[in-house]
Structure 1
């Protein structure tokens, strides 16, 4: 049976920052039904930023005031019955009404945060702050013009086409489709990073693996209750 997508959006100026962490630090914070997906025996934390544009449900044009916002998410990588995907610790957006709608029923951990994103010549600056608890990140970066050749690691980190979330004791899967990523390397610095302090792993002081992509159009499908 062919599945029908229910929502679409474009992701612009996508920045991936990744750090390896001890699996033991992560296991406590993901649902017991999910297995951790490890690379070289390490769990990975991804901090991913993008600007949402063209956000809309199927058959409905973008609604004024809801079609564009900034988002920063913190995630790790998991499997369920052999299927690979993503588990989100948090999804921060700078649009309170988008956060309120996304939080209906407690389905996804969206939070209202202050996020700014600016460009000066060819260099971008990103600052995000969520106040309860204090989680923030400040970085400047410049993408390299030359496209990056795919490697096993950057494919493993970025080519993920479903997410899981658990609400009211039930595990759901949401599938996403888009074309494969065209990544670029990034030159930059992370000046401040207090994201995911509950993991009690000082990954913020380490240099991340960083990738950038100009734009990606994605489609989302109805949630599926896992059995």
Structure 2
């Protein structure tokens, strides 16, 4: 089906932490199962500069593009044999984007005070959400090696090469609740991510605590991507038996 909008972005930091699945399971809706890699659940922070969106398959024209910092906190789940992403929170520096994300897609967007800056190839991002619940994130990162793409059965493929996300039906956290059926399934159409090894220093991160998840204690696995163009297809209602639009994630 044709996309409802096309999103572009650049300077993406992926930071992935391994957690006990039991610590993550209570924070995903009933009907979804936490997916594991090497026996662990994984929760990732994506820091990036959103360069805007255009209607349908059209990327925003260059004269309309403006950089807005964004933070995604997400984990990895399955429903009816289908793999995808479950968003725990998204922070944006754009009030309109936060409103549109919540109203149009039901994604848990929060408005935050954010800043993204560059010095050479190093990117710095700062975010402070003062709403309920409050959260803060500060990091510096830069690419360190050649461009590559995720290989099969690697942590990069597991955490990054996802083409589907799941949302609860309406405000109810149970898949299959509220008027007959299932949650909502979103599909993403894009090329595989161009990745580079990265060096990252995360100075502050309270996104996990804000989501009710224990703060990780170890260092994350990190990657960098120079940018992306992503087409977002319309949300559909799915159940554990029929959520099959598009590619596996």
The answer to whether the aligner puts 1:72 opposite 2:71 as a matched pair is yes
Measure the CA separation in 2 of the matches of 1:26 and 1:135. Answer: 18
Aligned Cα RMSD in Å?
2.1
Q: Unpaired runs of 5+ in structure 1?
A: none
**Contact 1:25–1:199, Cα closer than 8 Å, also in 2:** no
**Contact 1:140–1:188, Cα closer than 8 Å, also in 2:** yes
The answer to whether the aligner puts 1:24 opposite 2:22 as a matched pair is yes
1:218 counterpart residue number: 230
Q: CA deviation at 1:36?
A: 1.0
Measure the CA separation in 1 of the matches of 2:96 and 2:215. Answer: 33
Q: CA deviation at 1:61?
A: 7.5
Q: Unpaired runs of 5+ in structure 2?
A: 173-181, 240-249
Q: CA deviation at 1:62?
A: 4.1
Counterparts of 1:1-227 in structure 2, within 5 Å, are 3-58=1-56, 62=60, 68-104=67-103, 107-131=106-130, 132-148=132-148, 150-151=150-151, 152-166=154-168, 167-169=170-172, 170-197=182-209, 198-203=211-216, 205-227=217-239
Q: CA deviation at 1:37?
A: 0.7
Measure the CA separation in 2 of the matches of 1:11 and 1:105. Answer: 20
Measure the CA separation in 2 of the matches of 1:181 and 1:85. Answer: 16
Measure the CA separation in 2 of the matches of 1:59 and 1:208. Answer: 34
TM-score normalised by structure 1 residue count: 0.91
The aligned length equals 224
Measure the CA separation in 2 of the matches of 1:90 and 1:219. Answer: 20
Measure the CA separation in 1 of the matches of 2:104 and 2:4. Answer: 18
Cα-to-partner distance string for 1:89-118 (whole Å, 9 max, x where unaligned): 111110001111222167111110111111
Q: CA deviation at 1:147?
A: 2.0
Distance 1:86 1:209, change over 3 A: same
Q: CA deviation at 1:199?
A: 3.6
Measure the CA separation in 2 of the matches of 1:39 and 1:59. Answer: 33
Measure the CA separation in 1 of the matches of 2:215 and 2:79. Answer: 28
User: Secondary structure of 1:117's partner?
Assistant: strand
Measure the CA separation in 2 of the matches of 1:200 and 1:6. Answer: 32
TM-score normalised by structure 2 residue count: 0.83
Measure the CA separation in 2 of the matches of 1:42 and 1:148. Answer: 25
Distance 1:215 1:24, change over 3 A: same
